Structure 1
């Protein structure tokens, strides 16, 4: 698959992986629809670039952004649903507001965009939905329960869509990064192994989409470590996790 002459939507395009993806794809001779809550931080500009203010947790803003993209470019070919948030949380600061924001952005924001994209994708029998999940989708890591749960929900939802949309020739790609240096991970106080620059992550994602991979996951050491942790019996995992926390 090629990005050339395609219209590509990127949510969460003003920072981190989204910004790096926008910069990388701006060199691919494609049309870009860049969405962010912070439109002032969208630096790219040009005839083939549409910048839109869009809070993915607000369905009316998603609807407006979709309509603006269709009015400008006629269609969307590839949607990279990248918006994401995370909060470090423990039992002392357990807060439903954290859960509401995390699930609204990481899960429902993806749902709202897919809801708008699907009718046209089904009609045309083409299109790509690339949703950004995380390698943290395999366990409930201490201090990140809401984040892990929201990413697990995204991964499972995308997997189901992949099966359902295959007869319509609509491709669904699940993107599962490890630790990438972003404003979100900058807040982490723990050591992040194999921390990657967003530019490198974007390069891997773009290449993976071009190869039409079902799952794009990286870096390899973190992928292997994630698989190992995921296979541990619950009792063993909880014992080890408690020791690490201590």
Structure 2
């Protein structure tokens, strides 16, 4: 897929993977609509972007259906259409059962699952009628099992992955592509909070290159790094008693 002059919508573009992906798309000559809750950060990023392409920023909370509808409407006015929607917004809370909070669960699912669904809802009528478009949903390799202190996050990413898989099958007759991105550990403000050792921790720029190249090749799933991807495949078939024994051990602290 040639990305030049493609209109790309990116959610959660103010930092981390979203910001790095925006740079890669700009280098490919795409036209970029950036969304995040912090518009001032997006404006600064757009102003400092070295590659000259068309970039616009929009304040949008993906959990707010009305904001999503209004922003999508404005993007279509400004750009005429959306070719690729990269739905990247995400949050994570590390908390044990001693700090159990349904509010944290709500925020996690509202952002990581409904944040994708809310944008898909506004994209589908145009993509299906035009029989064209690409939906890229960012999930995680953490969707494989329920890791301690990360239950809300793992469950939300599992839900996102399953939803995207179902969507991919249904949209195939409409020529609408659905891509699931499943990264391992990427150095972002979200993972900076993790107190444990993160193997194969990757810089956002490298992760963004893998993701954009995967989109260009129209892969159904983009998952990395290979070592972690293979490890989680093994974890999925591992007997419950063995997984529970290993997962209950204290994680290696960060140095």
Aligned residue in 1 for 2:63:
57
TM-score, length-scaled by structure 1: 0.98
- Paired residue secondary structure (1:44): helix
For 1:196 and 1:141, how far apart are their aligned partners in 2?
20
Is 2:133 the counterpart of 1:127?
yes
TM-score, length-scaled by structure 2: 0.94
Runs of 4+ in 1 over 4 A off after TM superposition: none
Which of the residues 220, 223, 227 maps onto 2:229?
223
1:80-135 Cα distance to aligned partner (Å, 9 max, x none): 00000000010110001110100000000100000000000000001000000000
**How far has the Cα of 1:47 moved from its partner?**
6.4
Which of the residues 223, 233, 243 maps onto 1:237?
243
Which of the residues 93, 100, 104 maps onto 2:99?
93
Aligned residue in 2 for 1:186:
192
For 2:102 and 2:179, how far apart are their aligned partners in 1?
30
**How far has the Cα of 1:242 moved from its partner?**
1.6
For 2:53 and 2:2, how far apart are their aligned partners in 1?
20
- Paired residue secondary structure (2:186): coil
- Paired residue secondary structure (2:86): strand
**How far has the Cα of 1:245 moved from its partner?**
5.6
For 1:79 and 1:128, how far apart are their aligned partners in 2?
6
Unaligned runs of 5+ in 1: none
**How far has the Cα of 1:243 moved from its partner?**
2.9
Which of the residues 20, 44, 47 maps onto 2:46?
44
Instruction: Give the number of aligned pairs.
Output: 246
Unaligned runs of 5+ in 2: none
Aligned residue in 1 for 2:2:
2
Aligned residue in 2 for 1:115:
121
- Paired residue secondary structure (1:26): helix
1:142–1:245 CA contact under 8 A, matched in 2: no
- Paired residue secondary structure (2:248): helix
2:26–2:53 CA contact under 8 A, matched in 1: no
- Paired residue secondary structure (1:243): coil
1:23–1:44 CA contact under 8 A, matched in 2: no
CA RMSD of aligned residues (A): 1.2
